[in-house]
Amino acid sequence: MSVVETLNTHMKLANRLALPFLLIALAFAEDAQTLSQADRDFLTGHLERSRKELLTAVAGLTKEQWNHQPAGGGWSIAQCAEHLVATEDAMFGMVTGRILKLPVAPDRKRFGRAEDEKVIAHELDRSEKEKAPEMLQPSGRFSTAESFEPEFQSRRQRSIDWVKSTQEDLRGRVAGTMDAYQYLVMMSAHTLRHTAQIQDVKQDAKYPR
């Protein structure tokens, strides 16, 4: 057998061996989908809205207002704000570093806006208090609103920029009862939840005026 014939034989064998792997790769590529523009717009819009409401709520606070502890316990505005910075880091990291490493769930009905709205409604329901895990507990990191704002801004802008540009299949990766997209929706709704708590602190009878 000539050198040319030998090479042709090896190439044909390699192609036959590679074909099953190519078909598997194509199957995964067909299952994986990038975000629809509607999903991208909804999530970035929600992230921008919750950022605006939070930063409006803490704008211009004095140091006394920032650190006021409401009667009967509960977090100060400073503690709520620090918790939100920690949560943004934790949830964004969980989505991008862990959930997106999961395989795309095959043959699964993908969630839509109705399921997203349920996630938001559940997060905004403050009728039941939940204790934050130790890693998300505030420790007095930000002494003033001015020191907090750029830290939150940088994290939230990172989240928004990533959602605008990512080609990852956020709807196809599922952890527990939610897909990756909904964890980011929950992160934004969580910001609104604690913004409402901040507004409650401002209504405290002994809140500095």
State mean pLDDT over 69-86: 95
CATH topology of domain 34-202: Four Helix Bundle (Hemerythrin (Met), subunit A) (1.20.120)
pLDDT value for 31: 54
**What would the pLDDT profile of 100-147 be if each residue is shown by its tens digit?**
999 998 888 999 999 999 999 999 999 988 889 999 999 999 999 999
Q: Return the domain boundaries, the chain.
A: 1-31, 34-202
Q: Are 44 and 160 in contact (CB under 8 A)?
A: yes
- How far CA 79 is from CA of 72, 83, 162, in Å, comes to 15, 6, 27
Query: Of 2-6, 131-135, 168-172, which has the strongest mean pLDDT?
Result: 168-172
Q: Is the pLDDT of residue 23 over 50?
A: no
Residue 137 three-state SS: coil
- Say how many residues make up the chain: 209
Least confident interval from 17-31, 36-50, 168-182, 190-204: 17-31
- Report how far residue 183's alpha carbon sits from residue 46's, in angstroms, rounded to the nearest whole number: 13
Least confident interval from 26-30, 118-122, 164-168: 26-30
Q: Is the pLDDT of residue 87 over 90?
A: yes
**Average pLDDT for the chain:** 88
- How far CA 58 is from CA of 13, 38, 50, 188, 191, in Å, comes to 67, 31, 13, 17, 13
